[in-house]
Amino acid sequence: MTAIDHVVHVALGERAYDILIGPGLIAEAGKILAERFPGRRYGIVTDDNVARTQLPLLVAGLEAAGLDYAVITVPAGEGTKSYQMLESVVEGLLAARLERGDLVIALGGGVIGDLAGFAASITRRGMDFIQMPTSLLAQVDSSVGGKTGINSPHGKNLVGAFHQPLLVLADLSALDTLDRRQFAAGYAEVAKYGLIDDPEFFDWLDAHLDEIFSGGPARGEAVARCCAHKARVVIEDEKEQGVRALLNLGHTFGHALEKDTGYSDRLLHGEGVSIGMVLAHRYSTRQGLAPGQDAGRVEAHLKRAGLPTTLGDIAGTLGSTDTLMAAIAQDKKVQRGALTFILTRGIGQAFIEKNVDPATIRSFLDEMRGQ
Amino acid sequence: MTAIDHVVHVALGERAYDILIGPGLIAEAGKILAERFPGRRYGIVTDDNVARTQLPLLVAGLEAAGLDYAVITVPAGEGTKSYQMLESVVEGLLAARLERGDLVIALGGGVIGDLAGFAASITRRGMDFIQMPTSLLAQVDSSVGGKTGINSPHGKNLVGAFHQPLLVLADLSALDTLDRRQFAAGYAEVAKYGLIDDPEFFDWLDAHLDEIFSGGPARGEAVARCCAHKARVVIEDEKEQGVRALLNLGHTFGHALEKDTGYSDRLLHGEGVSIGMVLAHRYSTRQGLAPGQDAGRVEAHLKRAGLPTTLGDIAGTLGSTDTLMAAIAQDKKVQRGALTFILTRGIGQAFIEKNVDPATIRSFLDEMRGQ
Ligand SMILES: NC(=O)c1ccc[n+]([C@@H]2O[C@H](COP(=O)([O-])OP(=O)(O)OC[C@H]3O[C@@H](n4cnc5c(N)ncnc54)[C@H](O)[C@@H]3O)[C@@H](O)[C@H]2O)c1
Ligand SMILES: NC(=O)c1ccc[n+]([C@@H]2O[C@H](COP(=O)([O-])OP(=O)(O)OC[C@H]3O[C@@H](n4cnc5c(N)ncnc54)[C@H](O)[C@@H]3O)[C@@H](O)[C@H]2O)c1
Ligand SMILES: [Zn+2]
Ligand SMILES: [Zn+2]
């Protein structure tokens, strides 16, 4: 049951690394690490869900390979991307007496990858780390590209570092213990790659949606294609000074909604992105940029995946439009007062627009709230 | 009274920057910044002592130049290099709505430089910053080279980032408001440069000690020579993988003593370094590496500067040798159990020794406690 089905190389010069994709990789990690990084010790950072479902496999493999490790477990959930948990992970790594040449393993979803990667980057002014993404979202998006960080009361991901991993192991078997809602949330980022600049991939997804959700071979292929896409973008623009911003399609709206719902179970990150992508398409249509039928296709596709697509799909009461606008203005993609949004000319034709007038966004949001 | 007496260029490729040294530079900073970095906003981080003595000059200059700024003031003292203050500076920068292209100014001693530089490096995944060192220690050492960070309960500077400033303004006039004890503590780092590999500089210092302390032209020359020395080392080894470690002469002992005295007024950083340098010389003599008379000269010179030079010079009771050894072992210069120390063959002949036997350090410390 173990096979490295796909290898994606992230060619970042002296920071280059591989993404290995296949079933059973967490159980095999001990063997892989002993070969690639002899003589290191490991600090495993994980959350309590993943500690239950995946950690035993990793630990058994490390022990079989004779590797020395310490485990740091934090609570599951977005609230864990906090100053307090950052401190506790860093202090845990130091308490385990990990040295500069040792390795941090981020075993979990995007929350763990972001938190553990950031902790690694600041412990002893920089330790190397390995991503072992266990959620779909983490496998196709957050584990690749080196963005790490935590949230601030002022907004998501406002505190962090660019810190590339040494290796990414995306174990397809891990997705079997992920619940359906989380899987769907991760799927929003899968669809995103098609929507940005790959309409053929979007068509392929539309044809293989059921197989991806049920765990057929299309699932591995989807993960690999997403990683390859993200790797290409990151190679071109490691520090997000240009084209990498396209990956934020749906995210400015999404972040504002996540903030408004308190980064809680009311709205998962990928669910915010799903609504955000539909809003980006609808706004682009409203501005006469994109055909309305594309917005309709996007919405129908994400609905089929079981994702929320409108403001009304969010449980409970949303904050005022003013509150949402304040969150949008604080998003880190704002430059000198003008709003930057990823807009689109249609499926697979997204672009960066730096001069969006806040007033048009405000009235658009007001209207969308009514629906 | 304003003059740029010395310019030291730190040639770090795309991270290259200048160190400007002279009197009155804080008051002139508005003009200098408006010219070099048009259109930016500024987040000034400072401590309450420096807010009283130097901030008014800076603020007046920024206002005269029409620059927009926010001020974040933290308590003075080593205790400020903490997770809590890091969070409060980062949140302050975000609350001031500083954007990625804006600049953080570290106005203060090494504590402020380390804290504000680290905060800049993680705010919005990396903001640029400017060092305006106001203590002697910061002017000759901490403001140059890009090491930033905070302390952990496990030891000093264990959490941080390499983050080079865009510019360093070392205002010699600022040293006039620094008290004598702090000036002497900074002087320990000045002497360090001679002790590492520049015996001629050490002789020059011996001849100009009084003039440096009283504020004659030798003071500016000493600052410039130290900056040039540090710049050379940093260019050769930015991330401290080799020769940069020589700058830690006296610091492994010093950090253990600082930890033991609770990073308090009982022992300033430079005072710990002073004792540490004497211990490094004495230990090297004991090991038959260096002539005993050099250790004697070092001790006499630092005494003349008003610095403590023995364990007995520290007020109050020190912890046990076990406690000191534990602190030494946790110091980040430890690799796989063996202790790394900077030892010496005599004045100006320091070297990195990676295989120091902990037992010899322990018995040496036991002996030194008796004196
Ligand atoms: N760094 C980046 O480039 C980047 C990109 C996109 C998203 N992100 C971040 O990623 C985070 C979202 O990631 P996420 O959706 O993976 O969140 P997550 O890490 O919270 O994981 C979602 C939930 O699934 C559980 N889980 C994960 N793997 C599991 C498994 N195999 N079996 C059972 N349960 C499992 C987790 O415990 C958690 O409860 C957000 O914080 C977002 O900002 C970062
Ligand atoms: N980053 C590096 O490479 C590096 C190198 C050496 C030291 N350091 C760090 O630097 C710190 C020590 O620096 P420091 O000695 O400057 O400490 P500091 O910043 O605490 O300054 C010492 C005291 O002098 C006061 N002060 C500073 N400038 C003043 C002025 N012009 N007038 C009046 N008061 C003034 C401060 O308020 C403080 O009370 C330590 O934390 C040490 O770890 C860092
Ligand atoms: Zn996302
Ligand atoms: Zn020092």
* Smallest CA separation from ligand 2 atom 44, residue: B142
Tens of pLDDT, residues A4-41: 889 999 999 999 999 999 999 999 999 999 999 999 99
Domain boundary among A143, A175, A207: A175
Per-residue model confidence as pLDDT tens digits over A190-204: 999 999 999 999 999
Q: Which residues of A touch B147 (CB under 8 A)?
A: 125
| Structural domain contains residue B265 | yes
In the predicted model, is pLDDT for residue B336 greater than 80?
A: no
Of B122, B160, B162, the CB nearest to A159: B122
Residue indicated by tokens 């439009």: A321
**B140 C-alpha vs ligand 4 centroid, how far in Å?**
10
pLDDT band at B3 (very low <50, low <70, confident <90, very high): confident
CATH number at residue B206: 1.20.1090.10
Closest residue by Cα to atom 34, ligand 1, is A178
Of A91, A158, A332, the CB nearest to B152: A91
Dist. CA B40–CA B103, nearest whole Å: 7
Shared-domain flag, residues B199 and B119? no
Asked whether residue A223 is domain-assigned, the answer is yes
Q: Which one of B147, B175, B203 terminates a domain?
A: B175
- The ipTM, to two decimals, is 0.91
pLDDT of residue B156: 84
Task: Name chain B contacts of A332, Cβ cutoff 8 Å.
Answer: 100, 124-125
Q: B154 and A87 in contact by Cβ < 8 A?
A: no
Chain B environment of A334 (Cβ under 8 Å): 99
Contact A332 B83 (CB under 8 A): no
Answer whether residue A26 is part of any domain: yes
- A320 occurs within a structural domain: yes
**Pocket test residue of B135, B164, B179 for ligand 2, highest count of atoms within 8 A of CB:** B135
Residue A229 and residue A265 in one domain: yes
pLDDT digits (tens, 9 = 90+) for A229-250: 999 999 999 888 888 999 999 9
Tell which of B119, B152, B175 closes a domain: B175
pLDDT (tens digit, 9 = 90+) per residue, A246-269? 999 999 999 999 989 988 899 999
3-state secondary structure B20-53: EEECCHHHHHHHHHHHHCCCCCEEEEEEHHHHHH
Average pLDDT (B304-327) is: 95
Q: Nearest chain A residue to B240 by CA: give it.
A: A125
Q: Please indicate whether, in this complex, the C-beta atoms of B159 and A332 are within 8 angstroms of each other.
A: no
The DSSP letter of residue A278 is H
The pLDDT tens digits for A273-318 are 999 999 999 999 999 999 999 999 999 999 999 999 999 999 999 9
Contact A126 B162 (CB under 8 A): yes
Asked whether residue B1 is assigned to any structural domain, the reply reads no
Please give the pLDDT value at position B169.
Answer: 98
**Same domain as A327, residue A223:** yes
* CA of B183, nearest ligand number: 2
Instruction: Answer yes or no: A269 catalytic.
Output: yes
**Maximum separation of any 2 CA atoms in chain A, in Å:** 62
Residues B135 and B171 in one domain: yes
Question: Do A159 and B334 lie within an 8 Å CB cutoff?
Answer: no
Q: What is the pLDDT of residue B38?
A: 94
* Residues A196 and A127 placed together within one structural domain of the fold: no
Indicate whether A279 and A345 sit together in one domain.
yes
Asked whether the predicted pLDDT for residue A176 surpasses 80, the reply is: yes
**A190 & A276 share domain:** yes
Is pLDDT above 60 for A140? yes
- Annotation: binding site of B for NAD(+): 110-114, 134-135, 147, 156
- Domain-embedded: residue A1: no
pLDDT digits (tens, 9 = 90+) for B108-146: 999 999 999 999 999 999 999 999 999 999 999 999 999
| Closest CB to A124 among B83, B91, B332 | B332
Does one domain contain both B165 and B199? no
Say which CATH number the domain at A49 has. 3.40.50.1970
Q: Going by DSSP bridges, is the β-strand pair B17-22/B155-162 parallel, antiparallel, or unpaired?
A: unpaired
* B133: CB partners within 8 A, 6+ apart: B106, B108, B109, B110, B113, B139, B142, B143, B168, B169, B170, B174
The answer to whether residues B286 and B213 belong to one domain is: yes
Cα–Cα dist A312/A100, whole Å: 49
Minimal Cβ distance to B125: which of A125, A155, A161: A161
Helix axes of B251-260 and B269-286: crossing angle, nearest 10 degrees: 130
* Domain enclosing residue B234, as ranges: 180-369
Does the residue B299 lie in any domain? yes
- Do A115 and A200 belong together in one domain? no
Q: Which residues of B touch A239 (CB under 8 A)?
A: 126
The domain tally of chain B equals 2
**A235/A195 same-domain check:** yes
Looking at the domain assignment, is residue B300 inside a domain? Answer: yes
Q: Which residue of A has its CA nearest to B162?
A: A125
**Which of B53, B142, B144, B244 for mutating ligand 2's site (highest number of atoms within 8 Å of CB)?**
B142
Write down the pLDDT at residue A336. 65
The reply to whether A268 and A170 lie within a common domain is no
Structure tokens at A144: 């690749």
DSSP string covering B271-295: HHHHHHHHHHHHHHHHTTSS-HHHH
pTM of the model: 0.93
- The pLDDT > 70 percentage for chain B reads 97
What is the model's pLDDT at position A95? 96
pLDDT, chain B, mean: 95
Class of residue B236 by CB neighbours under 10 A (exposed 0-12, middle 13-18, buried 19+)? exposed
Candidates A28, A78, A238, A240; catalytic one? A240
Ligand 2 center–CA B357 separation, angstroms: 33
Chain B: give the shortest CA distance to residue A125, in Å. Answer: 5
